Amino acid sequence: MAVIQPIVNLVDIFVQHGLTHAVICPGSRSAALTLALARNEAVTTIVSIDERSAGFIALGLALGLGRPVAVVCTSGTAAYNFAPAVAEACFQHIPLLVLTADRPKEWVHQQDGQTIYQAELFGKNVKKAFELPCDTAHPDIRWYANRIANDVFLSANTFPKGPVHLNVPVREPFYPSAGDIWMPDPRNRLIGRLGSYHNLPVESWHMLQDEWEETDRILIAGGQGMFSEETCDPLARITEEWEIPVLGDITANLGNHPDFISMQDAFLHNDVPQPALRPDLLVTFGESFLSKRFKNFIRKNPPRRHWHIGPGTHLVDSFQSLTLRIPVDPGFFFRKMLEDIDYKRFLEQNEATNDSFKQEWLKEEYLAARIVSEQINKNLTSLDDLTCIGSLVSALPEDVFLHLGNSMPVRHANLLRRLGLRQNVWANRGTSGIDGCVSTAIGNALATSKPVCLIVGDVSFLYDRNGFLLEQFPQNLKIVVLNNGGGNIFRLIDGPRNQPELGRFFETRHSFTARATAADAGIAYDEIRQPAELEKTIGKFVASEGPALLEIFTDPEENRKVSEQIRSAFERSGS
């Protein structure tokens, strides 16, 4: 009983804090963690044999649930396989409780079993790291273990949320005996933490409002995030009433307002000056920006002032123009500005300029949308990634949670945002890896009963196919694999395209398909090899019941051609 008791207490504290889901990887050293979670009725468990996938499944679950999810593994390199998901969660501020069983310290590096240096395993790529004490004889240790349990959960779940590593050294025996009692210690003490919000002194608000009112050309830009109406509604009013352009990639999830700008990655140029679009004040919020062209545009045309809204403390200056951090919630900030600024006065002063500034951005937006849309219509007889994603996003139901693989799917979908405006779009853009796209979508689907769809390239799909090694595949998940036989992005970039090593070392051309992987997991599979099949097969796929995988074989040369066509269409348009 002694071995299990501290772990039962740990899980009890987690559950009292609100833990509901755990992803468990098989192992013996981790048996107490597994059993304490499996035998707690409040916890739904998912079993995955590959820790790399398990990490991303937990990430997808936490993304969907909005609260910490536990993920458990045994000792040794198993824990290292969590690292890609831990890093992604860290840079995306997704709360995970990363529970790794370990040998006690005296057994590390003693050539005995599954043992590596596990303490502090994730270095700076994790929010915090703790270690549970192994010997619990002294009463202070019970206090310490109770405190750690609370700290692990609170650290993961407090802004900025993130993955927290708890290393759990365990001595044998690992398993309880038949007569063992499974009860949390009644002295287990929950330490709560009230929610709080950041505000600014009234003088700061006045200062900001004065600067805002004095500025002619304000541009608001949102980075990645799952923003609620609390943020999107005031932004819609700001762009409508104050004629201030509001911009966001597809991953910013700013909602469906038709005036929101999202074609910036198409219409901004790296080499042509676009002075009409230069802001005097840039106001950003959210996480990473997908549009490289937008970042380059701002870097080359730094605004006089750049405010970043958000209470985080890590100094990010990816636009190389930041002048002021405003540590409050973005939705609160925009609502406060709307409420406090005498907007009639604001309009009188700024209407002419702001109006024309927003119109400059919107003009480019509409033109770009037309070019892309014409391009797609022109290509309906070819199987290229962009056209296929276009057909897909138009066909998907409104309430779908859409996952997009790095690197091309998210870029293509971004170009097509106006075709199928929607909320709830996700890509692993914290570290932009291809190593967990499939498992993240699986985890997300396990967290909801709504439909989830993943659009992913062949390399990302193959990389993370072990996400399929699940007991039960989520019934609400549909996957589209765009198989262009390699890492097609390299063919679209000048640098690698011009190297003789393109095919072997960059694209890594291959002839693997997703068919067998789907069949092995008992998932309905269909494929498209001809443009004529596109519409009908997508329709059937979207309408089908249960999980399904659709593989569309697109032509890498067609993809290159479409990318060229769009590029030259934009050049011709002078945009």
Name the DSSP letter for residue 247. E
- Using CB under 8 A, which of the segments 185-193, 369-377, 394-402, 490-498 binds a copy of itself? 490-498
- Using CB under 8 A, which of the segments 6-14, 132-140, 383-391, 495-503 binds a copy of itself? 495-503
- Using CB under 8 A, which of the segments 261-269, 362-370, 418-426, 514-522 binds a copy of itself? 514-522
* 517 binds a copy of itself, rule: CB under 8 A: yes
Distance, in Å, from the CA atom of 148 to the CA atom of 156, rounded to the nearest integer, reads 12
* 174 binds a copy of itself, rule: CB under 8 A: yes
* 507 binds a copy of itself, rule: CB under 8 A: yes
Q: How far is CA 430 from CA 70, 149, 251, 443, in A?
A: 20, 27, 11, 17
Number of Cβ within 10 Å of residue 350's Cβ equals 22
14 HSE (CA, 13 A, CB side): 33
CB of 45 to a copy of itself, least distance (A): 8
- Using CB under 8 A, which of the segments 363-371, 383-391, 507-515, 549-557 binds a copy of itself? 507-515
* 282 binds a copy of itself, rule: CB under 8 A: no
Which string of DSSP letters, residue by residue, matches 497-563?
HTSTTIIIIII------SHHHHHHTT-EEEEE-SGGGHHHHHHHHHH-SS-EEEEEE--HHHHHHHH
Q: What angle do CA 310, 314, 318 make, to 5 degrees?
A: 85
Residues 11-40 that bind a copy of itself (CB under 8 A): 24, 26, 28, 31, 34-35, 38-39
CB of 122 to a copy of itself, least distance (A): 9
Residues 290-319 that bind a copy of itself (CB under 8 A): 295, 314, 316-318
Residues 346-385 that bind a copy of itself (CB under 8 A): none
CB of 179 to a copy of itself, least distance (A): 12
Name the DSSP letter for residue 41. T
Distance, in Å, from the CA atom of 574 to the CA atom of 562, rounded to the nearest integer, reads 18
* 441 binds a copy of itself, rule: CB under 8 A: no
What does the block give as tokens for 526?
Answer: 């269909």
CB of 109 to a copy of itself, least distance (A): 6
What is the total count of residues that contact a copy of itself (CB under 8 A)? 87
Closest to a copy of itself by CB, 33 vs 542, is 33
* 164 binds a copy of itself, rule: CB under 8 A: no
3-state secondary structure of 209: helix
* Contacts with a copy of itself, 85-104, as mask; x by CB under 8 A: --xx-xx-------------
CB of 68 to a copy of itself, least distance (A): 21
Residues 177-216 that bind a copy of itself (CB under 8 A): 178
Residue 533: alpha-carbon gap to chain centroid: 32
Q: Which residues contact 343 (CB under 8 A, 6 or more apart)?
A: 241, 242
Question: 401, 454 in Cβ contact below 8 A?
Answer: no
Question: 552, 528 in Cβ contact below 8 A?
Answer: yes
Closest to a copy of itself by CB, 52 vs 422, is 52
* Contacts with a copy of itself, 52-81, as mask; x by CB under 8 A: x-----------------------xxx-xx
- Using CB under 8 A, which of the segments 213-221, 329-337, 412-420, 425-433 binds a copy of itself? 425-433
Closest CA to 136 of 146, 128, 125, 126: 146
Closest to a copy of itself by CB, 212 vs 426, is 426
Rg, the chain, Cα only: 26
